[in-house]
Structure 1
Amino acid sequence: MQSSQDREPAPAVHDHGGGVRSLRVPIPDNPLGHTLVYVVDTDRGPVLIDTGWDDPASWDTLASGLTACGTSVTEIHGVVVTHHHPDHHGLSGRVREASGAWIAMHAADTAVVRRTRGARPERWFSYMTAKLAAAGAPEEHIAPLRAARPRALPGLSPALPDRDIAPGELLDLPGRRLRAIWTPGHTPGHVCLHLEEAHPAQLPGHGRLFSGDHLLPEITPHIGLYEDPDDTTVTDPLGDYLDSLERVGRLAPAEVLPAHQHAFPDAAARVRELLAHHEARLTDLLALLAEPLTPWQLAERMEWNRPWADIPHGSRTIAVSEAESHLRRLVKAGRAEAVPGSDPVTYTAVQ
């Protein structure tokens, strides 16, 4: 994600009214700073929307925040996960162990969790090595992955959910109306959650939207590639994301409660900004593709929040994945094409 300007610190616990509160659970060594974990009161006890990063300090913050809300980890009835990333799903297993709570996630992200749990670390390193080589990454970038020793990596043992979230369903939250909206793009199984209840402050619009990472007030979520190494399907995550944005805009919620930064109104205006941002970026990339470029070369030339020379190794890998997702959108739209016979493959704009 692209970082934004720092805001004034907010309280660790915020009451949004109507039986909804948020906790600022820290993400270690990350410019985002924290994940907003939402506590939703139900007739059977509190339900969490996301849980935060699996880290001792994050766990302590979650536990103390729940105490400040007048409840505790042991009283949690369920966990609804917007998507599988470790800053959202990381503590779900610990919450379930402490409380017996169920965990719900969209099946597409559950498949990623299952695949992640079943893969050995060395398979991840070999997959990333081959993927980066195919994208035209230089040997000096790939070499650390070739030399890496298999080890436990963060997020490689995420909890398996107990329940699937079906798109359009009302979740089983007694006394609440929380509907799942499938919003793929940031991950294949990302969901937003529409609280179909009157806004407690009577703001105009239709309820409130827990938007996860799909819709954020000041930053754009990373849109990379999420693929099964054993599946040859060519995905279009950016296309999925743009379609999902328009779906959320049509909901017209009174307020958006995102997983990072702060709550905000007028989802439709933010959707328009993000659609315009991505269209402008695609247009800029077409100008770069006046000459054939590999995904790595394209990423080097794209505009990021800092110069390419200052982007660390891991973030460059993420940047290349984002460049590839934009390339796939251009190819699918007939605006760019692969150059026949190029190895590693290069792409050029369609004239």
Structure 2
Amino acid sequence: MTSTGQVHDHGGGVRSIEVPIPDNPLGTTLVYVVDTDRGPVLVDTGWDDPASWDTLVAGLDACGTGVGEVHGVIITHHHPDHHGLSGRVREASGAWLAMHAADTAIVRRARSTEPGRWLAYMTAKLAAAGAPEEHLAPLRAARPRSVPGLAPALPDREIVPGELLDLAGRRLRAIWTPGHTPGHVCLHLEEDHPAQLPGHGRLFSGDHLLPEITPHIGLYEDPDDTTIADPLGDYLDSLERIGRLAPAEVLPAHQHTFTDAPGRVRELLTHHEDRLTGLLALLSEPLTAWQVAERMEWNRPWAQIPYQSRNIAVSEAEAHLRRLVKLGQAEVMTGSEPVTYVAV
């Protein structure tokens, strides 16, 4: 792999651009530029921010092309550090945007739901999870307003799992890997590795499989849908599928490329197995999702976790609790308010 500043050449007509994420410890999103017979196709685009846009434009220039030449954009999932600049790229180039239907539904919901309704829904969800009044008070007092990232671009193409994407001269197959989001996809480049590394092609893994980070598993629910999802179960199943694929190299959306996908999958499966075992021990007494989140191990003590990050932590705690319920190892206490879980 050769590198020039924020642009890296991975060989075989694939480059990446490090696009900054403002005020975020992740630092950058790796936007991949895939050469095709009809022009460059991007895998993700980066955060919708002026500095990020300038970096993407300069990176495409450094790749010997330009933003106006982009033929298409494949979005691994709807998060703003991946999908944020898609609309601007389409405006500048006329490119198509492709996303899995499950994440397109989330984008459509974000665009159509009034901010006031989101606030009310979030407040009710956190109250049901056992959030204390001091955490709920700012939400109750907040004025409904439009928030950046809540009007993302609507895709105009659907990524169909198992099918080859429309990339002239390339073989890129979509693999549905729900968990991090309901419509997350990985993209399998079914071509020989340019350096002849052993394995089956290369995998654009989005946030599903990262070399040193455990992806967040949260809840993305429709306020009008009462279905109880099991995103952690979906994620673990998706991980095993990617492990069996055994690509020669993984090209993730953050950090750096890596090999031995099956080994990394085993590490993540063990991590979640250990976490579930630890949670089950905690549930020897009845606890809410908030109380569980307070007791879980994070990258810093609970007292140091910022407000918004606590919401994310509670969502992840609830995803793990739902997995234990699905496995028959825990149950929701009937009629509990806030919702309380206990080991069976």
> What's the TM-score, normalizing by structure 1?
0.96
Residue matched to 1:249 = 243
Residue matched to 1:194 = 188
Residue matched to 2:265 = 271
- Equivalent position SS for 1:87: helix
Cα offset, 1:341, TM superposition: 2.7
Cα offset, 1:242, TM superposition: 0.2
Q: Deviations over 1:227-262 (max 9, x none)?
A: 100000000000000000000111110000000000
1:167 to 153, 161, 164: 161
Residue matched to 2:281 = 287
Cα offset, 1:11, TM superposition: 3.2
Structure 1 residue 231 corresponds to structure 2 residue 195: no
Q: Which moved more, 1:141-150 or 1:209-218?
A: 141-150
Cα offset, 1:34, TM superposition: 0.5
1:321 to 302, 315, 332: 315
Residue matched to 1:42 = 36
Structure 1 residue 332 corresponds to structure 2 residue 326: yes
CA distance in 1, matches of 2:339, 2:8: 50
Code of the residue aligned with 1:274 in structure 2: it is: L
Question: Compared with structure 1, are the counterparts of its residues 17 and 329 closer, same or farther at alpha carbon in structure 2 (3 Å cutoff)?
Answer: same
Q: Runs of 5+ in structure 1 lacking a partner?
A: 1-8
1:184 to 178, 187, 190: 178
Code of the residue aligned with 2:310 in structure 1: it is: R
Aligned length in residues: 342
Cα offset, 1:10, TM superposition: 8.6
Q: Deviations over 1:312-331 (max 9, x none)?
A: 10000000000000000000
Q: Deviations over 1:250-295 (max 9, x none)?
A: 1110000000000000100000000000000000000111100000
Cα offset, 1:340, TM superposition: 2.0
CA distance in 1, matches of 2:174, 2:337: 43
Residue matched to 2:128 = 134
What is the RMSD computed on CA atoms of the aligned residues? 0.9
CA distance in 2, matches of 1:90, 1:340: 41
- Equivalent position SS for 1:180: strand
Residue matched to 1:100 = 94
Structure 1 residue 109 corresponds to structure 2 residue 111: no
2:118 to 116, 119, 124: 124
Residue matched to 1:149 = 143
1:78 to 53, 66, 72: 72
Cα offset, 1:343, TM superposition: 1.3
Cα offset, 1:342, TM superposition: 1.8
Code of the residue aligned with 1:266 in structure 2: it is: D
Residue matched to 2:52 = 58
Q: Percent identity?
A: 83
Cα offset, 1:139, TM superposition: 0.6
- Equivalent position SS for 1:157: coil
- Equivalent position SS for 1:227: coil
Cα offset, 1:339, TM superposition: 1.4
CA distance in 1, matches of 2:208, 2:80: 16
Q: Deviations over 1:121-179 (max 9, x none)?
A: 11111110000000000010011111111222121010000100000000000000000
- Equivalent position SS for 2:287: coil
